């Protein structure tokens, strides 16, 4: 196994942001989507990433030029399906959506080729993150069965699988008994895995996932301490208190820290601290999945872990 993480992100999104610069519009083009934000943070923490995705249409052509960065290797399947576009205006301080163009669904042959890329990358890396898209509606790009097959095939061949999904896609991956499941408390309740967002109910829901074979369940709880449940522990992870700029992406950065910790051979407590610190830093920034590894590590010792009981 190499100290590397593969990230499966079927269809990254072209994001266009309009901001104010001295009273004039200032336009920024970025590659976006959950998997890409996670990949950025993983590389910032010093772990190389192999990024597996599909690129197609004019949006895909632009994304190919934007998907670059230190320690980021892109393995893309060229497809006829177009990648999505998300355009928003932040000149008023708040995010005002202007256009959200959904990506196209991949054909059967395109799915097969993308699956092949992801399996090989995961086995080469030893740690694989299975992520969704910029929103749940975009997850129709590939069938749910792709996530189930990836989770099972990778885990069966010794790869540690980290899942950051919800709904049908989370349920599908559970057959592979992933090493880590990262989920928000809202998702746990919405999926019917917890009766409410009360801590006792969340612990019960996470415990059922662990009893089903998941190695570690990490439940982010907005401003409340994160819940972490494994076979032998129920923990609360408290991040350092920082003034938020944009809370979107905090959970993705936490997942990235957990995956990087696994790849770096950290123990469970150290990986949880790294994930919590990465999530805490990200919400202080405008860019999702951004932040320096040096800054994250400066916060690690300020993360507190205590029994949930």
At residue 94, does pLDDT exceed 50? Answer: yes
Among residues 32, 123, 17, 44, the alpha carbon closest in space to that of 293 is found at 44
Contact present, 188 and 219 (Cβ < 8 Å): yes
Instruction: Over range 172-189, report the average pLDDT.
Output: 96
**Distance between CA atoms of 25 and 62, rounded to whole angstroms?**
21
Instruction: Over range 202-214, report the average pLDDT.
Output: 97
Report pTM.
0.91
Please write the tens of the pLDDT for every residue from 18-46.
998 888 999 999 999 999 999 999 999 99
Please write the tens of the pLDDT for every residue from 105-158.
999 999 999 999 999 999 999 999 999 765 554 457 999 999 999 999 999 999
The encoded tokens of residue 229 equal 């449940």
Model pLDDT, residue 134 = 54
Q: How confident is the model at residue 272 (pLDDT cuts 50, 70, 90)?
A: very high
The per-residue DSSP string of 141-168 comes to GS-HHHHHHHHHHHHHTTPEEEEE--HH
Which alpha helices (H) appear in the chain, and where do they start and end? 34-44, 57-66, 108-125, 144-156, 167-173, 185-190, 199-211, 250-263, 268-282, 293-300
Please write the tens of the pLDDT for every residue from 276-308.
999 887 655 444 445 566 788 888 989 999 999
Q: What CATH number does residue 22 fall under? A: 3.40.1190.20
Mean of pLDDT over the chain: 90
Distances in whole angstroms, Cα of residue 228 to Cα of each of 102, 164, 181, 219: 34, 14, 10, 6
At residue 211, does pLDDT exceed 90? Answer: yes
Q: Which domain holds residue 89?
A: 4-307
* Residue 167 CB neighbour total at 10 angstroms: 14
Q: How many domains in the chain?
A: 1
Instruction: Over range 265-276, report the average pLDDT.
Output: 95
Model pLDDT, residue 289 = 45
Contact present, 164 and 216 (Cβ < 8 Å): no
Handedness of CA 41, 43, 49, 53 (dihedral sign): positive
Contact present, 278 and 45 (Cβ < 8 Å): yes
């Amino acid at each position: 196994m190499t100290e590397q993480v593969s990230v499966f992100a079927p269809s990254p999104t072209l994001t266009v942001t309009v901001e104010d610069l001295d009273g004039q519009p200032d336009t920024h083009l970025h590659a976006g989507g959950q998997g890409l934000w996670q990949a950025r943070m993983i590389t910032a923490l010093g772990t190389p990433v192999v990024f597996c995705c599909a690129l197609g249409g004019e949006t895909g052509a632009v994304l190919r030029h934007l998907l670059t960065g230190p320690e980021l290797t892109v393995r893309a399947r060229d497809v006829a399906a177009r990648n999505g576009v998300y355009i928003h205006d932040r000149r008023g301080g708040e995010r005002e959506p202007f256009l959200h163009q959904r990506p196209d669904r991949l054909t059967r042959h395109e799915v097969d080729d993308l699956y092949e890329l992801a399996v090989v990358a995961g086995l080469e890396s030893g740690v694989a993150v299975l992520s969704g898209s910029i929103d749940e509606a975009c997850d129709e790009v590939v069938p749910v069965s792709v996530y189930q097959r990836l989770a099972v095939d990778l885990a069966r061949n010794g790869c540690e699988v980290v899942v950051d999904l919800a709904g049908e896609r989370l349920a599908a991956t559970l057959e592979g008994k992933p090493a880590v499941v990262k989920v928000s408390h809202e998702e746990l309740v919405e999926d019917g895995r917890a009766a409410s967002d009360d801590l006792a109910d969340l612990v019960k829901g996470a415990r059922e996932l662990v009893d089903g074979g998941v190695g570690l369940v990490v439940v982010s709880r907005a401003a409340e301490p994160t819940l972490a449940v494994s076979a032998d522990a129920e923990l609360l992870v408290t991040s350092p208190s920082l003034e938020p700029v944009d809370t979107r992406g905090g959970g993705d950065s936490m997942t990235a820290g957990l995956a990087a910790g696994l790849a770096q051979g950290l123990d469970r407590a150290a990986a949880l601290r790294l994930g919590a610190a990465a999530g805490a830093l990200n919400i202080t920034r405008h860019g999702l999945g951004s932040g320096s590894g040096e800054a994250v590590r400066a916060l690690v010792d300020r993360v507190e872990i205590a029994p949930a009981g």
